[in-house]
Amino acid sequence: MTDGAFKGFGPKAIPFLKALDFHQSREWFLENRDLFEQELRDPLGDLVDTLTQRFTDAGLGLRGDRKKSLFRINRDVRFAKDKRPYNRHVSAILSPDGSKAVQGVFYIHIGLEGCFAGVAWWQPEAALLLAMRRAIETWPDRFRAMVKALKKNGLELDAEGAMKRTPRGFEHVTDKDLVGAIRSRHFAVRHAIDPAGIQTVALVDELVDFTLRAKPLLDWGRAIEGNVPEC
């Protein structure tokens, strides 16, 4: 049990993930479950609780729950060729309503692939994605102002995973920056976390600072989302 205040991930957090990735065994995991909870799961829950309070104080409109916000360490292998049972990371989401089912979220990832945080409208459903593309087309100055504000804050939109061709209905858009944005399947910014820094409470301030710098993206998406008709 913890008092809910984040004090840092344990010193054996990354070594545990390396060992779990090596063994990929249910038996090994159950034998070492206490270590997982002490070094990774409980601190991640504390981080969600602490960030929820800090995000509330900062007016960011993001919250989470130490149980519901955390992703499982177990992989869903039902339809995967890779049948390894465990992830190589732990992660969690804070969102406007505290669930994982909405957009405009904060994401934290601690793992062997790297440690990072993100603020994102990640692969939004079709109606919202279309509305975002229409907003870029119709109000390009608003989109560019958001991008400029992010850049001023040291952030850039993620360009990975974009469509190779412009989606139907937007062929008339020719400005290079707008074309690139309209081809995007998501709108996200990322912050790299030094793995050496995950063991200290200073990680909280670092993540709050990042999310405040990413607020122009949250505000832009929320303004659009609020005008999408409900199905």
How many separate domains does the chain show? 1
Is residue 2 situated within a structural domain?
Answer: no
Rounded Cα distance between 219 and 60, Å, is 9
Is residue 7 situated within a structural domain?
Answer: no
Is residue 231 situated within a structural domain?
Answer: no
**CB 33, CB 41: distance < 8 Å:** no
Is residue 121 situated within a structural domain?
Answer: yes
Q: How many CB atoms lie within 10 A of CB 173?
A: 18
What SS3 state is found at 93? strand
HSE, side-chain direction, 13 A CA sphere, residue 216:
18
- CATH code (residue 174): 3.30.930
H-only helix segments in 24-139: 26-31, 33-36, 42-57, 126-138
96-120 pLDDT, tens digit per residue, is: 999 999 999 999 999 999 999 999 9
Rounded Cα distance between 228 and 22, Å, is 46
* The Cα angle at residue 198 between residues 194 and 204, in degrees rounded to 5: 105
Is residue 188 situated within a structural domain?
Answer: yes
Residue-number span of the structural domain to which 66 is assigned: 13-225
Kindly give the confidence (pLDDT) of every residue in the chain, 231 residues in length, as a single tens digit, with 9 standing for 90 and above.
Answer: 456 799 999 999 999 999 999 999 999 999 999 999 999 999 999 999 999 999 999 999 999 999 999 999 999 878 878 889 999 999 999 999 999 999 999 999 999 999 999 999 999 999 999 999 999 999 999 999 999 999 999 999 999 899 999 999 999 999 999 999 999 999 999 999 999 999 999 999 999 999 999 999 999 999 999 887 664
* Entry field: residues in the chain: 231
Burial 124-147 (b: 16+ CB within 10 A, else e): beeebbebbbbbbbeeeeebeebb
Is residue 163 situated within a structural domain?
Answer: yes
pLDDT for 3 equals 66
206-227 pLDDT, tens digit per residue, is: 999 999 999 999 999 999 998 8
Rounded Cα distance between 142 and 124, Å, is 20
Is residue 175 situated within a structural domain?
Answer: yes
Is residue 4 situated within a structural domain?
Answer: no
**CB 225, CB 155: distance < 8 Å:** no
This prediction's pTM: 0.94
